[in-house]
């Protein structure tokens, strides 16, 4: 990170950030997809989440604040290379910088992110009838992200398409225990190869505070291990 947003979104959606919808603010899960963090239930004031490699090397750090209606007011993230994204809300926009460039993020009346513009890229975000992120695209690219959900509102399939060609597919199976809102196993298929990304978290009052993520190849061999910490404040 940061790669072009479409590639960044693929990594974000494979990290277990999708969750059950019943006790979440309306846009919480959508923000989690777009800003790479674990969605948290309840009337959240802020969340600080960090991702580390197995040896403790920092990989990603994100701090997000929300108003009492659940609309994002401030985001600051730092990636492994030290590149920073920081935006603050004024009216229907989030403005600030992304990797040294000015960035403007437009929100709709429901406080959903619908467009992001930097000097080098514009990204459009579309939503389905239920209000979940449905498609992510850029006028400068013929690659599009399509998201599919089950009846409970869990993201179950992410398809990266180039025209009619499927570049990759990520199918997610969520834990049978509905209280384990961030536990998910995702199978990624690309270039006739597959890998499995498994996220298992520890919870307090049904809210995750620590997560392990293991990545294995098609033969079940461990190829990567990461862990994350989650801090939350509430109104």
136-175 pLDDT tens trace: 999 999 999 999 998 877 889 999 999 999 999 999 999 9
When the pLDDT of each residue in the chain is averaged and rounded to a whole number, the result is: 90
Strands (DSSP E) along 1-142, which ranges?
Answer: 44-53, 58-66, 72-79, 84-90, 93-98, 101-107, 113-118, 121-127, 133-137
Helices (H), the chain: 5-13, 28-35
Contact (Cβ atoms closer than 8 angstroms) between residue 9 and residue 33: yes
Asked if residues 103 and 95 have their Cβ atoms less than 8 Å apart, the reply is yes
What local confidence, expressed as pLDDT, does residue 235 receive? 96
How do beta strands 84-90 and 133-137 pair?
Answer: unpaired
Confidence of residue 1 (pLDDT cuts 50, 70, 90): very low
82-124 pLDDT tens trace: 999 999 999 999 999 999 999 999 999 999 999 999 999 999 9
């Amino acid at each position: 990170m940061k790669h072009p947003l479409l590639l960044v979104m693929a990594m974000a959606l494979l990290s277990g950030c999708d969750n059950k919808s019943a006790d979440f603010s309306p846009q919480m899960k959508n923000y989690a997809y777009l800003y790479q963090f674990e969605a948290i239930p309840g009337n959240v004031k802020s969340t600080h989440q960090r991702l580390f490699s197995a040896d403790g090397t920092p990989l990603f750090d994100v701090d997000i604040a929300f108003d009492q209606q659940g609309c994002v007011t401030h985001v600051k993230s730092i990636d492994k290379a030290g590149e920073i994204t920081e935006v603050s809300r004024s009216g229907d926009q989030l403005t600030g910088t992304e990797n040294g460039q000015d960035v403007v993020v437009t929100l709709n009346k429901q406080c959903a992110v619908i467009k992001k513009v930097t000097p080098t890229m514009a990204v459009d975000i579309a939503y389905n009838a239920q209000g979940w992120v449905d498609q992510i695209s850029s006028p400068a690219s013929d690659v599009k992200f399509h998201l599919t959900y089950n009846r409970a509102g869990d993201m179950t399939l992410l398809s990266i398409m180039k025209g009619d060609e499927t570049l990759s597919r990520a199918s997610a199976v969520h834990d049978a225990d509905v209280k384990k809102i961030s536990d998910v196993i995702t199978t990624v298929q690309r270039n006739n190869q597959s890998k499995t990304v498994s996220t298992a978290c520890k919870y307090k009052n049904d809210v995750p505070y620590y997560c392990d993520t293991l990545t294995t190849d098609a033969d079940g061999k461990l190829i990567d291990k990461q862990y994350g910490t989650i801090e939350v404040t509430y109104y």
